[in-house]
Amino acid sequence: MKMKLREVYSALKIQSDEIADVEITGVCFDSRKAKKGDLFFPLQGDRDGHEFINSAIDNGVSATIWQSDHDIPNDKISYVVVKNVSNAFETLAKYYLNKVNPKVVAVTGSNGKTTTKDMIAKVLSVSNNVAKTPQNFNNEIGVPFTILNMPTNTEVLVVEMGMDRPGQIDHLSTIANPDISVITMIGEAHIEFFGTRDKIADAKMEITNHLQEDGSFIYNGDEPLLLERAKKVEQNQKTFGNQDSNDLYATSIEAGKTTTSFTTNLWPDLKFEIPMMGEYNVNNALAAILVGQISHIKPEAMQKALGELFVTENRTEWIKAKNGADILSDVYNSNPTAAIEVLHSLKAIKTDGRKIIVLGDMLELGDASEKLHESLATHINAENFAKVYLVGDYMKYLRDKLSDKYNSADLLWYGKDQLTDLTKDLETELKPNDTILLKASHGIHLENVLHELI
């Protein structure tokens, strides 16, 4: 970003006779990360962002936004007075997006958003200057922040969009106006707030509401809920998935511990390899490949790019326990779809010792919690997983469902306040050649168990 403060006034349609000759090279809303050249936006969070303006000034910001219902500051720094800070944030983002005018790719989905975003950015960077959502900044703050901090020479902007309520993605799409909209999948994440997968699908489809008329819609064609709703979308469409009815599908998959390779129907002799485990990540790669194909990237170039991928947020990672055992850690996020995917991936991996799983409650599932926790039982058996450790109130339902598959010595349950007991039991049980999975929603805090094991 690069603009004079005068241009900020113009973009926000604010008249002023006296405007300091200040150059803005970025924006920030976290005073701790403020730096010289930044325009500070005191956004409302748990606390009023105006409380942190002095901290932002101390860290070197060049100017700040100031909401008119607050006392007007002294002239310690250049400031722009607006009626609403959040609205000004979005308005400036829209202005800057139109000014730079990159192609915009918007990505959403119940799982795989961040990974798919990274894959798309990597593929398109073969022949474009690409900017993308940092980490998972995918809400009303994250999307404008992503736009306002893209370089002026950006040719493609890849924007991740998340949601926890109806209408949110529609709103984010009005800011980004995507040229390509991508939906990775429809799962049960946030079903507590939506009630049904149908309503989740409706909310995800909002990403097409403001799709450019000559744009493209790329989605998971294995999902009937998306196939049904896509009929109302007039723009060009491409599908990916496991079924051969899709425009792009994998014809073979080789799952490894740290890599996954696959071939596709479009280029049978070309083997793609991604540096991450899990057959579920193949679908994310297929989505990226379709974006690349629409953008005229050669398949061999996409193959090379995906092989060199570095993922922003690979929550599933391999870590060594202090006794040498392999730990597959995913302790910050869990929902039924993601849990089933990682269980199947772990089944496919060859190991020397036993496979042990530790599963904690999956949160934000609302009235469906009991049924969805029970549903994991279909994917767990003693043939694949020698011991099962369960944590949390909802995992009692899974324990009951598994009781006919496991004896009491191999199926153990703990309250979420019994992590110390769980840790001690695991340290006693775990052998150097074992492989153990830790997966739960962050609210269960299995990261504390992980810390002790390593």
User: Residue ranges for the binding site for ATP?
Assistant: 109-115
Q: Give the orientation angle of helix 197-204 with respect to helix 168-176, to 10 degrees.
A: 10
Pairwise CA distance, residues 229 & 242, whole Å: 19
Pairing between strand 236-241 and 216-220?
Answer: parallel
What token pair was written down for 179?
């040229």
First to last CA, the chain: 42
Three-state secondary structure string covering the chain: CCEEHHHHHHHCCCCCCCCCCCEECEEECCHHHCCCCEEECCCECCCEHHHHHHHHHHCCCCEEEEECCCCCCCCCCEEEEECCHHHHHHHHHHHHHHHHCCEEEEEECCCCHHHHHHHHHHHHCCCCCEEECCCCCCCCCHHHHHHHCCCCCCCEEEEECCCCCCCHHHHHHHHHCCCEEEECCCCCCCHHHHCCHHHHHHHHHHHHCCCCCCCEEEEECCCHHHHHHHCCCCCEEEEEECCCCCCEEEEEEEECCCCEEEEECCCCCCCEEECCCCCHHHHHHHHHHHHHHHCCCCHHHHHHHHHCCCCCCCCCEEEECCCCCEEEEECCCCCHHHHHHHHHHHHHCCCCCCEEEEEECCCCCHHHHHHHHHHHHHHCCCCCCCEEEEECCCHHHHHHHHCCCCCCCCEEEECCCCHHHHHHHHHHHCCCCCEEEEECCHHHCCHHHHHHHC
Of 346, 313, 300, 299, residue with least CA distance to 327: 346
Q: Are 307 and 416 in contact (CB under 8 A)?
A: no
Annotated binding site, which residues? Answer: 109-115
